[in-house]
Copies of this chain bind each other. A is one copy, B any other.
Amino acid sequence: MRLTTKGRYAVTAMLDLALHGNDRPVSLADISGRQDISLSYLEQLFAKLRRNNLVSSVRGPGGGYRLSRDGHEIFVAEIIDAVNETVDATGCGGTADCQQGEVCLTHHLWCDLSEQIHSFLSGISLSQLVERREVQTISARQNARNQPNTELSLSEV
């Protein structure tokens, strides 16, 4: 099982999208600025997210990405699966041929664990995260950092 920055970045970026993408598409440059994730790396991640129909893109000036569904219908597990291939904890990927074609001694344990993790992450939607108080606090901090003063009124019109 893998859960590295790749999956974390993807979820963070999608949450940023859910927070800022209500009215217009959000550019990767904006996400990069707010979340401290390299732009080129974001491009790679969003290519996968797009292939998995989690976001849709708008090209050209003023373009960017939108969630392809309502935030209530996008779950954390999907996002991680999209960029990470799988959240499986077994060595065999669930095919049960871990020891010379037969199941290994601990196969069932890892299956149970995978099930646990997957059901936990499948139960959390982007909208649920948006509603959390800590998320709103942190998001406000990030907005303040990136729009220090005047620009705000201009872009908020």
Residues of A near any B CB (own CB < 8 A): 1-5, 8, 11-12, 15-16, 35-36, 76, 89, 91, 99-100, 102-110, 113, 116-117, 120-121, 124, 129, 132, 134-135, 138-139, 141-142
Contacts and interface: CB of A to CB of B under 8 A. Distances in A.
A108 B134 contact: yes
Contacts of A108: 132, 134-135
A105 B15 contact: yes
Nearest to A132: B108
9 contacts: A1-B4, A8-B106, A12-B105, A102-B141, A107-B138, A108-B132, A108-B134, A113-B120, A117-B117
B89 A35 contact: no
Nearest to A10: B106
B36 A110 contact: no
Nearest to A19: B105
A104 B1 contact: no
A130 B39 CA distance: 49
Given A113-B117, A113-B120, A124-B109, A104 B3 contact: no
Given A8-B106, A15-B106, A116-B117, 5 more contacts: A1-B3, A8-B91, A102-B141, A108-B132, A108-B135
A49 to B, nearest CB: 15
A2 B1 CA distance: 7
A2 to B, nearest CB: 8
A66 to B, nearest CB: 18
A140 B103 CA distance: 13
